[in-house]
Amino acid sequence: MAEVELLTAAGKSSGTVDLDDAMFGIQPNVPVMHQVVTAQLARRRAGTQSTKTRSEVRGGGAKPYRQKGTGNARQGSIRAPHYTGGGVALGPKPRSYGQRTPKKMIRLALRSALSDRARENKVLVVDSWNFDAPKTKDAVAALAAIGAAEGRVLVVLDTDDAVAARSFRNLPHVQLLRSSELNAYDILCNEWIVFTTSTLPTAGDQPASRNDVERRGGEASAGTDVNDEESAGEGSASDEPESSEPQASETSITGSASDEQESSASETGSTGVAAPDDGSIPEGFEIKGNANSMKYHTPDSPYYDATQAEVFFDTAEHAEAAGYESPASMPDASEAQSS
């Protein structure tokens, strides 16, 4: 596992820190990096280009001259593509240039880019920035102290480090990213990559999502983005207690419903039995009960043979006690057949 010097914001050494070989020690895969970066840049395209076809150009509704007798080639409109001022044949129309990139490819491109910068000794780790107030001159002094004053610098910050974000954001050669936004394109666009101990990526970290990687086009993440995410996190944390109470009530309601079902099942079991799997009629329990129609049928009923029973009762009184009705109110056998 490779080691780099751990620096303070003043440029002094405070020890060493290990770089995860899975993130900083692999062989860079150049073709994968190229494909991921190409897809990311393609996603940046607005895709709003549009040309007019001959049917969309104003005018040209009348035939310019008669079909025969002029000696010229026949024409139907002065807005045909070969006319000056005519429409465009097979011209571009608005479309999306986005490409779907597999997650494993995005991760491999990120690890390859980090490993490439680590090989060139362009990865710096700072314990913390510890700026008292957001001042650009303090950020310039810190970069000079750690040896990253020349070239483009990518500074990876914590989400809640708003003071450092506001200190760095006015520097034209510095790009800011949250640790969750780290991607191959932004790493390859900068010469130096500066982490803090809390933002140093490891193999267990979740990389930026596909939508976030493809949406980003190398634009710098300003300090206001860090503040917005911090406020959004506070809002979501305050909502958690409210969302937990309805879940508890739903659990209690579900529990009471299951208790009722168990109690009704126990009552039914005392006066009836469930239908056997083989379709036979239990001995002593000859009255059929249909759960769909909630009707019971005795053996002398004309609907007895057509009834599909889910439960059998020994007496009609027990069937009525279980909530099943007498079939006397049923008009004809067709209704029993349908039930």
Domain spans of the chain, in order of start: 2-44+98-228, 273-338
What one-character-per-residue DSSP string does 169-218 give? TT-TTEEEEEGGG--HHHHHT-SEEEEETTT---TTSPPPPHHHHHH--S
How confident is the model at residue 47, as a pLDDT? Answer: 95
Given the candidates 3.40.1370.10, 2.40.50.140, 1.20.210.10, 3.10.20.30, the CATH classification of the domain at 2-44+98-228 is 3.40.1370.10
How confident is the model at residue 252, as a pLDDT? Answer: 38
How confident is the model at residue 136, as a pLDDT? Answer: 95
Distance separating alpha carbons of residues 20 and 1, to the nearest angstrom: 6
Tens of each residue's pLDDT in the chain, 339 residues: 788 999 999 999 989 999 999 999 999 999 999 999 999 999 999 999 999 999 999 999 999 999 999 999 999 999 999 999 999 999 999 999 999 999 999 999 999 999 999 999 999 999 999 899 999 999 999 999 999 989 999 999 998 899 999 999 999 999 999 999 999 999 999 999 999 999 999 887 755 655 555 555 544 333 444 444 444 444 444 444 444 444 434 433 334 433 443 444 344 444 688 888 787 888 888 888 888 888 888 888 888 888 888 888 888 888 888 888 887 654 544 444 444
How confident is the model at residue 137, as a pLDDT? Answer: 95
Distance separating alpha carbons of residues 110 and 155, to the nearest angstrom: 16
How confident is the model at residue 214, as a pLDDT? Answer: 52
First and final CA of the chain: distance in angstroms? 73
Do 287 and 313 meet the contact criterion of CB atoms below 8 Å apart? Answer: yes
- In 3D space, the residue among 296, 300, 299, 11 whose CA is nearest the CA of residue 144 turns out to be 11
pTM of the model: 0.58
How confident is the model at residue 239, as a pLDDT? Answer: 45
Do 93 and 51 meet the contact criterion of CB atoms below 8 Å apart? Answer: yes
